[in-house]
Amino acid sequence: MSKQFIFTFCTSVLLTTSGFCQEEDSMMFRKIYTEALINGKAYGWVDHLSNKIGHRLSGSPQAEKAVEWTRKAMTEIGCDTIYLQECMVPHWVRGEKEKAAVTSSLNKAPVPLTVCALGGSIGTGAGGMTGKVVEVKNFEELEKLGREKLNGRIVFYNRPMDPTFINTFDAYSDAVGQRWAGAMRAAPYGAVAVIVRSMTLVIDDFPHTGVMAYNDTIKKIPACAISTYGADLLSSMLKKDPNLVFSLNMQCKMMPEVKSYNVVGEIRGSEFPAEIITVGGHLDSWDIGQGAHDDAAGVAQSMEVFNIFKNLKIRPKRTIRVVAFMNEENGGRGGAKYAQLALQNKEKHILAIESDAGADTPLGFFMEGHQGRIDLIKSWKHLFSPYGLHEWDAVGGGADIGHLKDANKDDNIVLAGLRPDSQRYFVYHHSGHDLFVNVNRRSLELGAASMAALVYLADKYGLK
């Protein structure tokens, strides 16, 4: 096929209102996906972060090692510039493994239950604690019971994620309030601790941690997550013996804040260097797994965008950055710092893409921002259809890139989040299941290619 024919074909037939040539871009998409699937490095990077470094809770030695390793990996890719953005982060430590059990007049011996402290919780003290348990399904039930029935008791939030939500992130959002605010809501009624049903749709014996919050004007009480198997067992035991006693021992505590960093790599644009496209994931993770899906995968997929561009010799018109954010899990300090510096330096971001929803098969993108620019991106979706990306209508972006909305109020930035198949994600999320062995290589690589393809189009045509 001659170059003249391609040119004529593109200009006379396939030149759309978006101004792009479908034939040319379709060919580039094929190259991008082939490169990711044949020569991609993302899987090896997830392996290193998961198995060689391990969990990377903010403030931990592993988080510090991850920063240095990521800077080195970006150097090897060949970024034009690599730098660290300093941010102070919380330093919460779990301490020795948590212990819990229930004692009932109906059992000869205490029945052990599998729990883990929620991130940010205070401990129980060296000797642990005991108390009678009151089960509630929601905050409305809590309020109805009041201080008379809750004073001195341990509140057990047993609200399952709703399995009828097809998008499991909707089920998570519907139930996660009991984890985040459970201690704050129970303490004013005299509760001495809270137990929260794990945020997962499966019934197993793996508790799921996650951040919880305190208010300095409200007494702080210990908060733990119980496995879904344990939650069902505790609920059934309470029905038979409402006076059973729950014992809990957690030695977690908050330490002074420590210095950490975002890792930023940049390829400067050849024509419009002031227009910035950012891709990123968060480098930190919870400490009871390896943080493979959440979010070594997102960091690796973001770095793979650079690797693909380099190997295909795509020199971007606009400046592209990959950011490994620190402290998404229990503070969001890295995302806030990145946005703060963007505002301070009067940077113009046109698009930010985050991968923080696991490494399963990509289905599309979440998006929020200027509707006209979102509509422009959606006009490209037929190019993604051959690669299985059909879902473009969900609203959202990402926790770390979300801070950029305030830093780009006048520039109408588009925030996008890679949207993988969500059906298995909450098996891994914040649990001991979040391991490298549970990452599918091909799905990971397809996600990285999808991000690179979207960056390619946004860079080539801009978002006007």
Residues 6 or more apart from 157 whose CB is under 8 A from it?
Answer: 136, 137, 178, 179, 182, 194, 195, 196, 197
- What end-to-end distance do the CA atoms of the chain give, in Å? 32
Residue 274 structure tokens: 């002031």
| Beta bridge pairs of residue 463 | none
Q: Order across the sheet with 348-354: list the strands.
A: 81-93, 253-267, 318-325, 272-282, 348-354, 414-420, 362-369
**Among candidate residues 310, 117, 322, the one with its CA nearest the CA of residue 208:** 117
Exposure b/e, 305-319, CB count within 10 A at least 16 = b: bbbbbebbebebbbb
In three-state secondary structure terms, 182 is helix
Residues 6 or more apart from 409 whose CB is under 8 A from it?
Answer: none
In three-state secondary structure terms, 400 is coil
> 87 near 262, Cβ under 8 Å?
yes
Number of H helices, E strands in the chain: 15, 15
Which among 35, 275, 304, 328 is annotated as catalytic? 328
**Among candidate residues 429, 360, 434, 436, the one with its CA nearest the CA of residue 200:** 429
* Catalytic residue status for 23: no
Place of tokens 């008379």: 148
Residues annotated as catalytic are: 328
